[in-house]
Amino acid sequence: MREADISAELLAWYDTHARVLPWRVGPAARVEGERPDPYFVWLSEIMLQQTTVAVVKEYFRRFIARWPTVTDLAAAEDAEVMGEWAGLGYYARARNLLKCARVVVDEHGGRFPDTEAALLTLPGIGPYTAAAIAAIAFDQPATVMDGNVERVMARLFAVETPLPKAKPELKALAATLTPQIRPGDYAQAVMDLGATICTPRNPACGICPLRPACTARAGGIAADLPRKAPKKEKPTRFGIAYLARRTDGAWLLETRPEKGLLGGMRGWPGSAWTEAAPVETPPLRAAWHDPGGEVRHTFTHFHLRLALRVAEVGVDTTPNRGDFLPPAQFRPSDLPTVMRKAFDLAQSSLAKD
């Protein structure tokens, strides 16, 4: 089957089977002249970088309800955006989200650039996201590569080189299929195919529109592809978090350094997170106690086991790091997920005292 025929088959399948997503303009609406909102495309793609579509749908709806345009988002308070982002992983992406929105408003008049090259100059936009926005929002013939597309290409062309080494080869093959006509719909069609039919396990080859062209299916190895290099085992790090509540209900919090994990986010003062036993570094003198149990959380590159120390202190207490936040200004939902886990455990402990 020729490249043009493969693309045409996939587009025909997409016209009938496209997923309904809150940020997407479906094929029927596009025929009627409706165009995707570049802001919606950008926001959804940033959210989807480490999270599933099922999870992102609700986050996307909440963001759009609060900040319906890129101008609204650019004017938002950092802490509010970070709070809404909690649970989507990597807060650096949320910080870049705000930076990008502000650059689009300040330097581009509130309009996203319409070329892949120009999009790459924006904060937080890498090759995948630039290609996705260019293709989906502006119908540019950009080759979009995510995990779904890599899997489809590996099976379609029976590429047995393990990932990540195979990435350049897979992108080159994908580029040969990217059509000049309807490239945005085509990009979404490949991703939908990978998400719903050409799945990681038990691919539904019997109903795949590309079945006649699939080399891996013909060779009986579709379910084995793409091959992946062995992953390194994640290390475990240990730390201590100190949760101090004043008798007036204020909580002691500190802002983490801008660079690094959870950069710029408020959290509980604590020790460094290391693979060795953590060093006690309390932020003030108090009758600290261990509430029992520990917080366990997994980041992309390591597992964290966080011991807690909890104390209730007087209103005249002065910490040597961090500041007490009055109850009216404290919202647990604004904290990163690992810090919220610590708060929930500490609350249970204080309630028993």
Q: Which residues are catalytic?
A: 45
Distance separating alpha carbons of residues 167 and 197, to the nearest angstrom: 21
- Whole-angstrom CA distances from 110 to 24, 122, 134, 204, 243 are 20, 13, 16, 43, 42
Task: Please classify residue 250 by burial: count the beta carbons closer than 10 Å to its beta carbon, then call 0-12 exposed, 13-18 middle and 19+ buried.
Answer: buried
Distance separating alpha carbons of residues 215 and 208, to the nearest angstrom: 13
User: Would you state the torsion angle of the CA atoms of residues 317, 323, 327, 332, taken in this order, to the nearest 10 degrees?
Assistant: -130
Strand partners, 255: 266
* Token duo for residue 35: 């165009």
DSSP state for residue 274 in the 8-state scheme: B
Is the distance from CB of 339 to CB of 253 less than 8 angstroms? no
Task: Please classify residue 65 by burial: count the beta carbons closer than 10 Å to its beta carbon, then call 0-12 exposed, 13-18 middle and 19+ buried.
Answer: exposed
Rounded-to-5 percentages of helix, strand, coil across the chain: 45, 10, 45
Distance separating alpha carbons of residues 228 and 148, to the nearest angstrom: 14
The helix/strand/coil state of 343 is helix
Is the distance from CB of 196 to CB of 19 less than 8 angstroms? yes
Distance separating alpha carbons of residues 88 and 78, to the nearest angstrom: 16
Distance separating alpha carbons of residues 338 and 278, to the nearest angstrom: 17
